[in-house]
Amino acid sequence: MITICDKHIIKQSTKIAIVVGTILNIINQGDYIFNMMFEHINYFKVGLTYVVPFCVSTYTAITINIKKQTKENNVF
């Protein structure tokens, strides 16, 4: 059974969240980051920009694994 605690899923989701979150943060707040205007950065949005891809990736991986297990168990 696949759970959210599966090390492979967590590791893969973390890698995806770091890459996607960094790209999105550069797109959304790059002006402030590159001009070192750190007082204008919305740090809640920075964190959320990493959390959302992590959750989406984790959910997708678990859903795919559950569907694979269901197909394997229902093969006659």
pLDDT of the residue at 16: 97
pLDDT band at 70 (very low <50, low <70, confident <90, very high): confident
| Comparison of pLDDT for 51 and 1, the residue scoring more | 51
| Three-state secondary structure readout of the chain | CCCCCCHHHHHHHHHHHHHHHHHHHHHHHHHHHHCCCHHHCCHHHHHHHHHHHHHHHHHHHHHHHHHHHHHHHHCC
- pLDDT per residue as tens digits for the range 3-58: 656 899 999 999 999 999 999 999 999 999 999 999 999 999 999 999 999 999 99
Res 69: pLDDT: 81
Please report, for the chain, the start and end positions of each structural domain, with discontinuous segments joined by +. 20-68
